[in-house]
């Protein structure tokens, strides 16, 4: 059994994972209420919240797994990327556990762990169909938007990445402009269900060019529709229409580039991972758009898309 700890951003998480990648327990304590009134993550508050949460979260992950401490054979932990003060809390907790139990400490990369989450197995049916190597991975989170060619665990080639904002950041920042609560991605997703994707004409930045991404221009475009048009007395779109149009613009670019990468490398499998991979429109569209090309889309189950420690355990 491996115990994993994740504290890179605003979730304190611990999990117990078996060597065959079966998840025995996965506990996530979110800090959303701590940061909500600031409209984004406040790093110092995040570190302090991790400090108070990490002990109880680790304890409940062990309790829920039904394992005893002497069955823990290694400790996995997120080494980066993430907020330095936050990472430090998880690393110190993991080091202390590893030292006191006399077991190895396995530091892992957060983004690689998001991708490897596609191999996790659980009683709810995760891991029934897994990709074969090599595959293309689209890792989309609050801090990253990257395309990789994945040859094996810890064997990744970066093919493209965002030149400015990450896709999650684009969701969160535009949501904030629209007055939606933090974190905005999930609220845009919900609001978009009632909206018209064609209502607002938004750009698809760098759609026809390469495998890199750029999302910062979308913020300006959305701002124009919220403020500029209101100022000029032109119709301001309904929030649901703006949400649907924004989501479609982001998802269009993500799907187009992931498929472009797969075709360029003649690879028939694409893994979609990271917090933004829980977006309902991205999940639907990547499946429908890959099928005509004979490409299979593997979606990380929703419970392992946003930050969690099971994915850290899986890679560790
Ligand atoms: O992977 P993650 O939990 O943390 C990072 O490693 O950054 O990703 C968080 C990001 C946030 O930007 C959040 O708004 C976005 O994932 N997100 C979503 C959805 N759920 C979470 N974005 C769009 N639609 C969603 N349903
Ligand atoms: Zn993450």
* Digit-coded pLDDT (tens) for 277-305: 999 999 999 999 999 999 999 999 999 99
Closest ligand to 168 CA? Answer: 1
Interval between CA 292 and ligand 2 midpoint (Å): 30
Bridge pairing between strands 135-140 and 269-273: parallel
Higher pLDDT, residue 191 or 235? 191
Higher pLDDT, residue 228 or 313? 313
Interval between CA 141 and ligand 2 midpoint (Å): 6
Going by C-alpha positions, the residue among 117, 104, 102 that lies closest to residue 13 is 117
Nearest atom in ligand 1 to 110's CA? 6
**Ligand 1, atom 6: closest residue by C-alpha:** 141
pLDDT averaged over every residue in the chain: 96
Q: What is the pLDDT of residue 90?
A: 98
Q: What is the pLDDT of residue 237?
A: 87
**Ligand 1, atom 8: closest residue by C-alpha:** 275
Question: For residue 232, what are its two tokens?
Answer: 């000029």
Residues of the chain above pLDDT 70, percent: 98
Q: What is the pLDDT of residue 84?
A: 98
Q: What is the pLDDT of residue 227?
A: 83
- Run of H or E including 86: helix 84-101
Q: What are the angstrom distances between the C-alpha of 258 and each of 15, 145, 289?
A: 30, 11, 10
Residue 196 has pLDDT above 80, yes or no: yes
Residue 64 has pLDDT above 70, yes or no: yes
**129-146 as b/e: b if 16+ CB within 10 A:** eebeebbbbbbbbbbbbb
Q: What is the pLDDT of residue 112?
A: 98
Note the pLDDT tens digit of each residue in 112-147: 999 999 999 999 999 999 999 999 999 999 999 999
266-280 average pLDDT score: 98
Interval between CA 31 and ligand 1 midpoint (Å): 14
58-77 average pLDDT score: 98
85-106 average pLDDT score: 98
Nearest atom in ligand 1 to 8's CA? 6
Interval between CA 274 and ligand 2 midpoint (Å): 6
Q: What is the pTM of this model?
A: 0.96
Q: What is the pLDDT of residue 166?
A: 97
Residue 234 has pLDDT above 80, yes or no: no
Residue 167 has pLDDT above 70, yes or no: yes
The confidence band for 230, taking pLDDT boundaries of 50, 70 and 90, is low
254-266 average pLDDT score: 98
63-85 average pLDDT score: 97
Residue ranges with strand state E in 143-295: 145-152, 155-161, 269-273
DSSP 8-state code for residue 30: E
Residues of the chain above pLDDT 90, percent: 94
């Amino acid at each position: 059994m491996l115990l994993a700890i994740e504290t890179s951003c605003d979730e304190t998480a611990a999990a117990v994972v078996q060597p065959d990648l079966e998840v025995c327990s996965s506990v996530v304590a979110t800090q959303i209420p701590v940061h909500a009134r600031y409209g984004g993550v406040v790093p110092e508050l995040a570190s302090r919240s991790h400090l108070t949460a990490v002990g109880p979260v680790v304890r409940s992950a062990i309790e829920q797994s039904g394992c005893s401490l002497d069955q823990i054979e290694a400790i996995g932990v997120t080494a980066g990327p993430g907020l330095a003060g936050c990472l430090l809390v998880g690393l110190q907790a993991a080091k202390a556990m590893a030292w006191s139990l006399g077991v190895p400490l396995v530091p892992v990369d957060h983004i690689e762990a998001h991708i490897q989450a596609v191999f996790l197995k659980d009683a709810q049916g995760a891991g029934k169909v897994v990709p074969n190597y090599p595959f293309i991975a689209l890792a989309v989170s609050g801090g990253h938007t990257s395309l990789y060619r994945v040859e094996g665990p810890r064997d990744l080639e970066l093919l493209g990445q965002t030149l400015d904002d990450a896709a999650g950041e684009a969701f969160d920042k535009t949501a904030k402009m629209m007055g939606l609560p933090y974190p905005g991605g999930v609220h845009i997703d919900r609001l978009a269900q009632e909206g018209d994707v064609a209502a607002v004409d938004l750009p698809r930045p760098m759609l026809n060019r390469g495998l890199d991404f750029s999302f910062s221009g979308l913020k300006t475009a959305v701002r124009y529709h919220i403020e500029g048009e209101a100022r000029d007395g032109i119709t301001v779109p309904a929030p649901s229409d703006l949400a649907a149009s924004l989501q479609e613009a982001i998802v269009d670019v993500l799907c187009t580039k992931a498929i472009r990468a797969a075709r360029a490398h003649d690879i028939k499998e694409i893994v979609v991972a990271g917090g933004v991979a829980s977006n309902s429109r991205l999940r639907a569209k990547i499946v429908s758009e890959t099928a005509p090309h004979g490409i299979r889309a593997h979606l990380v189950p929703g419970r392992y898309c946003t930050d969690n420690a099971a994915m850290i355990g899986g890679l560790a």
